[in-house]
Amino acid sequence: MSVQHITPLGPWSGSSGGTSGGTSGGTSGGTSGGTSGGTSAAFVSQESRILARAGIVGVFKQGYQNTADVQMALSGPTADPKDRLRKWDVEQLVSIGLGEALERLQVTGDQPGPVMVQLILDGGAAINLLHLTPPTLPKLTDQLGKVIEYADLRGERSAEIASQAGWPLGAWTSLLGMRPRQHQYTVLLMRVAQDLMVHLIRRVKHLCDVPRPSQLSAQVHPMVDLPPHGAWPGGHAAEGFIAAHLLSALIKKAQPSMSAASDVLLKLQLDRLAARIAQNRVVAGLHFPVDTLAGQVMGTALAEYLIHRCDPTMSLRVGACVGNQMASADYTLCELTAHAVDGASLSSLPVVHPNAAPVLKYLLTEAVKEWQ
C-alpha cells in the first residue's frame, strides 16, 4: 500500500527528485535517472552554499541575529501550541498526529483469533474497540466461486483498479470537490487516518494470517501482483471506510444545520465509494467478499476513535466481526448497527472522554473551518 505525500501548499503534488524523474523517464530508467540526478543536484547545492558562506560570513559576532523563532521556542509552555505546529512541514504534522492516535491503542490476540484492538483509558484499563475473529478455510472455499465470477468485470474495471492501487486520494477529492489550497487540513487529517489504518491493519493481518484467493485456487489468477500480507480484513476496504466516515463526520460537524436528508445522501455517496474501491479488489482477484465486511467494521470503528481523540464529546462505538458468520455469498453495503448482520456489528459505548490529543484537536478544528 503506497502512501501519497503532500506539501503544505499543494496536497496533490508529489515529491521531487527521484519521483519526478521516475514518472517522466519510465520505471527503471526514470528511477535511476531521478536518483542520480537528485544526488548530483544536492552535491552542487552543498558546494554552492559552502562557497557562498565563505564569501559573505565575515567575523562572528556574539548574539542572536534571527530572534523570532528563538523567542518563540524559549517562551515556555505558555506559548500558543498552534504557533509551534505552524513551524513544521506536512510529514512532521502527520507523524505527530499519528503518534497521538497510536499512544492510546494496543493490539492483542493471535490466530485463530479473536484479535482485539483496544483503547487504553486513564489509569491503564483497556476496552475493546475492535473484536475480530477471522474466517476459517471452509468459509473462504465457499466464496471462491464468487471471486472467480467477479473476474468477468476485470476488463471494464481495469482503469479504476490501477488508479486505486495506492491511496486513491483523487477519488475522494473528486467526489467532494476538494481543492489543494482550500482543504489542506482536511487532507492532513485524512493522511493521519490513512497512516493509522496502514499501521494497525498490517498488525491485524499478520495475527489473523488469512490466505489470498489465488493461494487457494490457480483459477483466480489475479490481474495485479499479490500484496505481501494477508487478505483479512481487506486493507482497501478499511482505508476506504475510515476516509468515508471521517469526511462524513467532519462535514456534519462543520454544517450542523444540514438537513437529515442531505446528511444521509452524503454518507451514502461516501460509503458507496468506499464499497466500490473494496469491490474492485475482489474483482482484481486479491480478496474475498468477507474481507470487505471486516474492512468496513474496522474502518468505521477506527474513524470514530480518531474523531473521538480529536473531540472527546463525539460518539464512540465498538466494532465486531466474526468471519464465519457471514451467511451471504457476496458483500452488500449496509448500515452497521448493534444488531449483527452477517456477523458484523457496531455497538455504542458510553462516552469515554480520554483527554483530547492537542495536535489532532488542532487539525480537526482547522479542517472544520474549511467546510464552513
Q: What is the DSSP string of 222-246?
A: -SSPPPSS--SS-HHHHHHHHHHHH
What residue ranges do the domains of the chain occupy? 1-63, 90-369
Helical segments of 181-286, H only:
184-208, 235-254, 260-283
Query: Are 101 and 309 spatial neighbours (Cβ–Cβ below 8 Å)?
Result: yes
Query: Are 114 and 132 spatial neighbours (Cβ–Cβ below 8 Å)?
Result: yes
Which of 6-20, 181-195, 223-237 has the weakest average pLDDT? 6-20
The amino acid sitting at 17 is G
Query: Are 282 and 289 spatial neighbours (Cβ–Cβ below 8 Å)?
Result: yes
Query: Are 217 and 145 spatial neighbours (Cβ–Cβ below 8 Å)?
Result: no
Tell me how far apart the alpha carbons of residues 124 and 93 are, in angstroms, rounded to a whole number: 27
* pTM of the model as a whole: 0.85
Q: Grid coordinates in use for 243?
A: 476516509
Note the pLDDT of residue 1: 47
The mean pLDDT value of the chain amounts to 87
Does residue 22 carry a pLDDT above 50? no
Note the pLDDT of residue 122: 85
CB atoms inside a 10 Å sphere around CB 161: 18
pLDDT band at 342 (very low <50, low <70, confident <90, very high): very high
Tell me how far apart the alpha carbons of residues 244 and 302 are, in angstroms, rounded to a whole number: 12
Tell me how far apart the alpha carbons of residues 19 and 14 are, in angstroms, rounded to a whole number: 8
Residue where the block lists cell 506539501: 7
Burial of 49 (0-12, 13-18, 19+ CB in 10 A): exposed
The whole-number average pLDDT for the span 309-324 is 93
Q: Which of 182, 311, 165 is nearest to 239 (CA)?
A: 165
- Mind listing the pLDDT tens digit for each residue in 90-137? 999 999 999 999 999 999 998 787 999 999 988 889 999 999 999 999
Query: Are 337 and 345 spatial neighbours (Cβ–Cβ below 8 Å)?
Result: yes
Q: What is the largest CA-CA distance in the chain?
A: 79
Inter-helix orientation angle 18-25/27-56, to 10°: 140
Burial of 352 (0-12, 13-18, 19+ CB in 10 A): middle
Type and span of the H or E element at 35: helix 27-56
Percent of the chain with pLDDT over 90: 69
CB atoms inside a 10 Å sphere around CB 65: 6
Q: How many residues does the chain have?
A: 372
CB atoms inside a 10 Å sphere around CB 73: 12
Q: Which of 205, 230, 216, 212 is nearest to 285 (CA)?
A: 212
For domain 90-369, the CATH architecture is: Up-down Bundle (1.20)
Query: Are 274 and 243 spatial neighbours (Cβ–Cβ below 8 Å)?
Result: yes
The whole-number average pLDDT for the span 31-45 is 67
Tell me how far apart the alpha carbons of residues 26 and 79 are, in angstroms, rounded to a whole number: 48
**Does the CA dihedral 191-81-315-264 come out positive or negative?**
negative
Query: Are 119 and 126 spatial neighbours (Cβ–Cβ below 8 Å)?
Result: yes
Tell me how far apart the alpha carbons of residues 75 and 66 are, in angstroms, rounded to a whole number: 15
Task: Compute the half-sphere exposure of residue 97: CA atoms within 13 Å on the CB side of its CA.
Answer: 30
pLDDT band at 35 (very low <50, low <70, confident <90, very high): low
